[in-house]
Amino acid sequence: MKLTVFGATGGTGVEIVRQALAAGHQVTAVVRDPARLDVPPQARLEVVTADVFDADSLVPAITGREAVLSALGPRDRGPSVICRDGTRAIMTAMAAAGVRRLVVVSNSGMHPEGDGWFTRLVVKPLLIRMLREGYADMGEMERRVTESGLDWTIVRPPKLNDGRHTGRIASETRGNVRGSFTISRADLADYVLRAAADPELTRMAVSIAKG
């Protein structure tokens, strides 16, 4: 596939780029600072420097691609608009480029559906208070994505870690995965790539966790 990846210098984004290249995909990585992309130059990798908030600047990086993958996310616990406004610009550029397939990374922490009572009533309220700014940003992003009319998939992982790529991934479309509260960034990247190629996940939100 021909893929465009946003958030490519982050922990999840760089894993998406690496695994996509290893699988033989053609990848366009959109970054602010090319020096921060920890992937060796190669024939199937194009690195584009652009402002993720400027839809017009994103159109050339999306035109002719089959899917757009976004691993944008807040860098700290302060106020953030990177998810909501960055994704809005991406979707505007996709419409201009005539590209419909979008996969975005969100989180399962702000969603209680499917959780056990202790997680739902004790753990999640604490998380939501601690991470309220980032969750507000991702929540608004999810709303805008679901109303976009694009062929979208929202991937909701739990707490991320830097563990190895196992390929053992549990998923659930009717709520969160029960009994599993972490996943590696490498396995999250694996699932994002699977989702991009799976038409059955179109216009669905999927919670995932370590299987």
Q: Where are the domains of the chain?
A: 2-210
Q: Of 139, 134, 62, 71, give the one whose Cα is nearest residue 95.
A: 62
Distance CA 113, CA 200 (A): 21
Distances (CA, A) of 12 to 114, 150, 157, 180, 185: 25, 23, 11, 19, 5
Give the pLDDT score at 117: 67
Count of Cβ atoms closer than 10 Å to residue 10 Cβ: 18
Backbone angles phi, psi at 176, to 5 degrees: -85, 160
Report the alpha-carbon distance of residue 77 to residue 98 in Å, rounded.
35
* The pLDDT of residue 115: 72
d(CA 49, CA 15): 19
Confidence (pLDDT) at 79: 84
Residues recorded for the chain: 211
Strand pairing category for 204-210 and 169-172: antiparallel
* pLDDT reported for residue 122: 67
Q: Find out whether 79 and 127 touch, Cβ atoms under 8 Å.
A: no
What CA–CA distance (Å, rounded) separates 82 from 57?
16
**Max CA-CA distance within the chain?**
50
In 3D space, the residue among 92, 69, 77 whose CA is nearest the CA of residue 21 turns out to be: 69
Q: Which runs of E-coded beta strand occur in 99-203? A: 101-105, 151-156, 159-161, 169-172, 182-184
pLDDT of residue 58: 98
Give the pairing of strands 204-210 and 2-6. Answer: unpaired
CA-to-CA distance for 43 and 108, rounded, in angstroms? 36
Helix (H, G, I), strand (E, B) or coil at 82: helix
- What does each of the 211 residues of the chain score in pLDDT, given as a tens digit? 999 999 999 999 999 999 999 999 999 999 999 999 999 999 999 999 999 999 999 999 999 999 999 999 987 777 889 999 999 999 999 999 999 999 999 999 888 777 776 776 767 777 777 777 888 999 999 999 999 999 999 999 999 999 999 999 999 999 999 888 899 999 999 999 999 999 999 999 999 999 9
Look up the CATH number of domain 2-210: 3.40.50.720
Q: Is 143 helix (H, G, I), strand (E, B) or coil?
A: helix
Look up tokens 């996509």; give the residue: 20
